[in-house]
Amino acid sequence: MEKEELNKVLRRDLERDIYFALSIIDGSYQDTIKSNEYSKIYRFTNEPLNSYAKYLKDKEKVLAVTGSGDQILKCIAYGSKEIDTFDISHLPKYFLELKLAAVKNLSREDFYKMFYSDDFDFSDDTNKYDKFRDDLPFNAKIFWDRLMSSYSWGQIYGSRLFTARNGLGFVKDKNKMLEHYSFLQDEEYEMLKENASKVKVNAFTSDLKDLSSKTDKSYDLIYLSDIIDYYNVPNFKRSISNLRVNPNGIILNTFLMASHGNKYADYDIMRQDGYKEEKTDRMARLLVKRF
């Protein structure tokens, strides 16, 4: 595809993403399908990220689900150098890019208030955005500028564009939030801020079944956060079978709950392929394959 034609396609896709985002915010687009190309954005992960620390350290090349972007931030804080991140929805990549630009420029307290605090006090939200908008990639800057020109950050973040505010009980308890998300603590936040300026992040849209056709790279960590809960397990296994992992690398599947009564039995399909169930000190369970 010629460069000019490619640019037209990218501009068309960006305008479409902006149109749907604004339509979701104003209520004119109401989708009932849970996972599709314009699914809601997760404000934050419901996974106890600190419980996974040993799986994320020293993993330079990572493939991960975009989601809320928190898993990506945790990997960056732990020194990942190159991260490919995917999501079935077009919208999470813009949120991840917003968080990455913000963390480079905001204090820990301002970053926490903008993205994790439950009081939703956004009286100075425009000033916060102005501090980091120039660090946004070109398309993300256009996306957020257009949304911010119509709504305040508080209106956007409190809208149907995002999942429900209280997805986690401990979000109301700052100490518990910091316990789960150590990248919001002073020392690790400084590591995150420093590493965010050096890491290479490539966010793209893809369903799991198409993922292996979107990347031919080999990774130290493939972090498939909670996807297995939403898939037919045999299809899930087929979809990830062609993903490439480096020697001493791992594929990490997290799951918090079974979608149907026989789900845990279905995980035997994964165990037969070399996955082992491992438990953390928290609520999550893991299926891990080591190479």
Tens digits of per-residue pLDDT, 44-91? Answer: 887 888 888 889 998 999 999 999 999 999 999 999 999 999 999 999
Classify the phi-psi angles of 274: left when phi > 0, otherwise alpha if psi is within -120 to 50, otherwise beta.
left
Which DSSP string corresponds to 209-269?
GGHHHH---EEEEEEEETGGGGS-HHHHHHHHTT-EEEEEEEEEEEESS-SSTTHHHHTHH
Q: How far is CA 102 from CA 57, 107, 113, 153, 267, in A?
A: 23, 9, 12, 13, 39
Q: What is the mean pLDDT of the chain?
A: 85
Q: What digits encode the pLDDT tens for the residues 215-271? A: 999 999 999 988 887 788 888 999 999 999 999 999 999 876 555 555 667 778 888
Q: Are strands 244-255 and 285-290 parallel, antiparallel or unpaired?
A: antiparallel
Q: Which two tokens stand for residue 162?
A: 């995002």
User: What is the DSSP secondary structure assignment for residue 39, as one 8-state letter?
Assistant: P
Q: What digits encode the pLDDT tens for the residues 92-102? A: 999 999 999 99
Amino acid at 20: F
Give pTM, 2 decimals: 0.91
Q: Rounded mean pLDDT of 2-18? A: 74
pLDDT at 92: 96
CATH superfamily of 3-29+42-290: Vaccinia Virus protein VP39 (3.40.50.150)
Using pLDDT thresholds of 50, 70 and 90, give the confidence band for residue 15: very high
C-alpha to C-alpha distance for 29 and 38, rounded to whole angstroms: 10
pLDDT at 280: 72
C-alpha to C-alpha distance for 124 and 201, rounded to whole angstroms: 29
Higher pLDDT: 258 or 156? It is 156
Nearest residue to 76 via CA among 92, 61, 94: 61
Using pLDDT thresholds of 50, 70 and 90, give the confidence band for residue 29: confident
29: number of CA atoms within 13 Å, CB side?
Answer: 17
At residue 186, does pLDDT exceed 80? yes
Amino acid at 48: P
C-alpha to C-alpha distance for 194 and 256, rounded to whole angstroms: 31
At residue 123, does pLDDT exceed 60? no
Higher pLDDT: 167 or 183? It is 183
